[in-house]
Structure formats: C-alpha cells, structure tokens
Chains A and B, each alone.
Chain A
Amino acid sequence: MLQTIIPLSRLPNGAAGRVASLSARGLIRRHLLDLGLVTGARVEAIRRSPAGDPAAFNIKGALIALRNEDADRILIAID
C-alpha cells in the first residue's frame, strides 16, 4: 500500500497519522522528540486557532499546540 506523506501542518482537523520522520535539527528536534513526536507515534489534529497558526494536536494523550513553522518539519504518514 502506498502511503501518503504530508507535513503535520497540512493534516486536516479530525484526521490522524503517524510520525514518519522529523526534518528538524538541533534543539528543535530534541524538543519535538521530548513532546512525544518519535517515529511511529500517532498524532491527531484537533483544532486550529482562528488564523490557522498555531494548531493543536493530540500527542500521546496530551493536547499540544505547535506553530506551523515547527509542524512543517514533522512528516506524517496518513492512516
């Protein structure tokens, strides 16, 4: 099966996927990993702020808001 890979910033509200890879480096990467965004982790887009940035995601049982700038660097394989 061919999987669709998109940046987390483009995951529509209510949709979910799994982390395929992180393109962030350095401290940002470290921080994203600490938030639970490890390869294979399931992420669901919950809602967006009025301007669309930041957006809130369910990551391992916590609601976490991410800026698009950071969510762009998280690649998601859609369920």
Chain B
Amino acid sequence: MESTSQLFGLNPLPDQLVVALAGNPNTGKSTVFNALTGLNQHTGNWPGKTVLRAEGSFMHRDKKILLVDLPGTYSLLATSADEQTARDFICLGRPQATVVVADATCLERNLNLALQVMEISSRVVVCVNLMDEARRRGIRVDVEALSSELGAPCIATAARDGLGLDKLKDAILDMAAGITDTSPRQVSYEPHVEQAAAQLEARIRPFLPGWANCRWVALRLLEGDSGIIRAICSSLDDDSEKVFLKEGAAAWAR
C-alpha cells in the first residue's frame, strides 16, 4: 500500500519518520512545534487557527523526523472541521508516532484526547507541557506514575523555556523508530458494546489490510459515525468498501 501520508499532501523523504502533534487548544502545542522544528509558525489563540496543518522537520540523533502540527481539539470524535482533520490524519495518515501535548495545569481534561488517540494508535508519546505554569500554581505532576498508568511515555516540558525538549525528542524518536515497547491503556466499554465490537472487528479485519486498529474502526461503525466511515471508504477499493459498509450496517442492526 502506498504511504498514506501522501494522501494528505505530505511527501516525506524515504528515511524520514512522520510524527503527528495533537493536543487540546491552549496547551502550548504550537510552541512545542516551533521549539522542536525551529520554525516560527504563528501562535495565537482563536478557534481554527491550525485548520490546515503545518509541517516542519528536525534531526535528532542523526534521524530525520517530519513533524505535522494538527489543529487543537478536545476530542477526535465530534463534529468540527478541526477535529475531523486531526482524526483523519492520525487514523488514515498513519504517522509513525503521535505526540499528544497536554496542559499540566488541567491534566484531567487533556487525558480525554490522549485516551482517544491511544485507542487509534499504540505509538503515542504524551508531552506534559506548561510544567512551569503548573509549578507556579502549586500543582505537581508525577510523570513516572502517569506513564505507567497510561502505558505510554509521558515527558514533562516547559516548551516556552526549552525545558524537557531533548527528553521529548528522545521519546519521539524511540517511539517512531519502534524501539519503545508500549501497551497503551485501553478504555473498556459496557459488555454488550465490547461483544458487538469484537464480533464486528473480526468481520471487517480482512477488508482493512495494514490497519493497526480494527477495533477502533469497529467502534466507529457501531456508533454510526458517518464522517469517519466516509473517510475510511475513500481509502478502500470498491468491493472492500461494499462489504465493509454491509458489515457495519448489519452489526448496527443487531
């Protein structure tokens, strides 16, 4: 299968690892992007600022990394163009790793997105940013404990001051190169949902060759999420598409 990143107008060099950068709005995501790539992408604070993703590259330990900045979103499941862009890229662009930038001052609300990304991809690094701001407010974040709870490496940063970026680059590279072993924590749903998802997953798997996460696709089909179903269909050939839609509809009817 051709590199799906090309569907998104990206042309990574053959030896370049593609890494996506996701995060809630106002987590300093663009600051992290700029700090990693040395670019000076505009940072500002209004919705839809990054609807069209930006890209930049950097070298770390002699490896080339292409970093793709996604729009800031609270979720990958809802309705806005921003959320759709971010979700389609993580799901269909299949980056070698995804970094979720989280705000250390209100981690709880940021972990929603992190868990959703971890449902799609097992190659996730969580960047716990704004640690300086958290410290000022008397909030301490135990990144070691968070890493083991999530089953994904969590790195503390204060990107504005360049703190923690080397560690972040190490974690990104190790994840993208497949060096890091991960077992991301999976959200489990009610038994009847789990059962339906498992059945559907087994049926659609043959039609989604090379897809890392058929469980996630099965869950979206059950949810009747038409946006993602269309996006997936556009990457399938006609026959696979028909069977895929039929199985989805049948499962939904059950």
Chain B positions 91 through 125: 1 when the CB is less than 8 Å from some CB of chain A, otherwise 0: 00000000000010110110010000000000000
Which chain B residues (108-166) contact chain A, with CB distance < 8 Å?
A: 108-109, 112
Q: A34-B74, A35-B74 are known contacts. Are A62 and B79 too (CB-CB below 8 A)?
A: no
Across-interface contacts of A34 in B (CB, < 8 A): 74-75, 77-78, 112
**Chain A 1-45 against B: per-residue CB contact (8 Å), 1 yes, 0 no?**
000000000000000000000000001001100111000000000
> Is the Cβ of B79 less than 8 Å from the Cβ of A27?
yes
Inter-chain contact A62/B109, CB cutoff 8 Å: yes
Q: In the bound complex, what is the Cα–Cα distance between A65 and B75 (angstroms)?
A: 16
CA distance A34 to B105 in the complex (A): 18
Bound-state CA distance A35–B110 (Å) is: 10
Is B26 engaged at the interface, CB distance under 8 Å to the other chain?
Answer: yes
Q: Is A30 within 8 A of B77, CB to CB?
A: yes
Question: In the complex the two chains form, what is the Cα distance from A61 to B107 in whole Å?
Answer: 9
- State the Cβ distance, B206 to closest chain A Cβ, in Å: 29
A-chain residues with CB within 8 Å of residue B75 when the two chains form the complex: 30-31, 34
Q: Which of B74, B78, B109, B112 contacts A61 (CB 8 A)?
A: B109
User: Is the interface on chain A under 10, 10 to 19, 20 to 34, or 35 or more residues?
Assistant: 10 to 19
Closest to A60 in B: B109
Chain A interface secondary structure, helix, strand, loop or mixed?
A: mixed
Which B-chain residue is minimally distant from A36 (CB atoms)? B109
Chain B contacts for A60, CB-based, 8 A:
106, 108-109
A35–B80 alpha-carbon span in the complex (Å): 13
- Tell me if A59 counts as interface (CB < 8 A to partner B): yes
For the complex, give the distance between the alpha carbons of A30 and B74 in Å: 11
Residues of B near A27 (CB, < 8 A) are 78-79
Residues of B55-80 contacting chain A, CB below 8 A: 74-75, 77-79
In whole angstroms, what is the CA distance A30 to B112 when docked? 12
